[in-house]
Structure 1
Amino acid sequence: MTRTAIVTGGSRGIGRDVVTRLAADGFAVVAGYAGNERLAEDAVRAVDAAGGRAMAVQADVADEQAVAAMFDAAEAEFGGVDVVAHAAGKMALSPVADLDLAVLDDVYRTNVRGAFAVAQQAARRIRDGGALITFSSSVVGLAFPTYSPYTATKGAVEAMTMVLARELRGRDITVNTVAPGPTATDLFFEGKDQETVERLAAQPPLERLGTPADIAAVTSFLAGPDGRWINGQVLRANGGIN
């Protein structure tokens, strides 16, 4: 039986590396994407070129019908769903005092409603013995100024993790959250000057930024046989920054 993984946010950044890594681990992979079809198809072609199996499916993660259709596509093409890695997300930075609440609503829609919509389908449709991996951020604990709109949504994702793990009792399905620290993605670099980047890179004891491949390796562990005893946890993959 082919083991199948759905990776949201699979067209770039951490999600793109998760697609590549899970395909290398032997999963057939559905690369979910919001709007950048070219990058999603690039990810699929890279998997195909390496001898794996993948397909790209467009889905707004906050649209429950689109999310259900993405799961339908995975089941139709590959026979079922065993792992879901929900890497899609959106960031907005602002001091609380200055925050446009319309911006908060937009981030909430993707990061919280989207996480629930994906988790709902995962809870209904992941085969017994599978795994759901959501993504938070180590900034929930670091409490950087201006990150409130983002950290508030990621705190909600963390709060959901143990609850859902308990709700899935009896099905041998693990539910965990990966919380990366500063990671060298386009989303991280956006709006930061070189001094800020270097300061953040120097903070972990390992004295560097994380890479998407670092986070994909953690995801691979949770999705695979060696991670089966980890359940209901938030893993802070951040090089020791907090």
Structure 2
Amino acid sequence: MCCFSAYAQSVEAPDLKAGDSWVVADTIEQGTQGWVHKNQDITVERIQSDGMLIATKEEGSNQPPIERITGLDWSRSRDINGKQEVVNRPFNFPLKPGKKWTVEYTELNPNQRHSSETLHCDYVVTGWEDVQVAAGSFKAIKVECDGQWTAVMAPAVAAGSRALVNANGVTTVTQTQRVTPRTFSGRLYDAFWYVPSQKRFVKSVEEYYSSNGVRSQRFSEELVSSKVAN
């Protein structure tokens, strides 16, 4: 009964400290194009009032680490239409089974092909699970996200030409075709296994599916080792 109560209670935000570090194994799968596997060192460089500076470096690399600011809840933000917006929030503390939250944003003109892209992700804390990773066995609280992405094609004009040869010589014929805007969408799925003693997730999976339901990308991560202050 004591153990059940401990696992059923809510989980508060981690007390992160400068120097906390983790080694994680990252695997990136790009559809049928193969996969890339590498270990990454992640270290908390600085704690701020509303975020923290994280340094990430590939294990064994002589390149300097990549430093980025993240939320104290491990959320990620970036510029959306000239304003910093949260684009990924795996945790909304305190965590307790059944808790739900949503992340949604629309980005205008994200690239030359799309006039807009929208992402909608519904998160839910599904409960406690036993999870096995390279660092060992843990009791983790799991968060899942079922979502959808939507993109609108940007209007464009496609041009082509061909040569016609006849008795009078060569004539070049040019044809143009207007590409009208259209909307298409796909699915996404995320899962995170958070362990309070590790102050972050020990395992994660992020998957993206194309408009025809085929998985196009998968990003997975597992904890290898950690050094965290109590």
TM superposition score normalised by structure 2? 0.21
TM superposition score normalised by structure 1? 0.20
Structure with greater helix share of residues = 1
Structure number, greater radius of gyration: 2
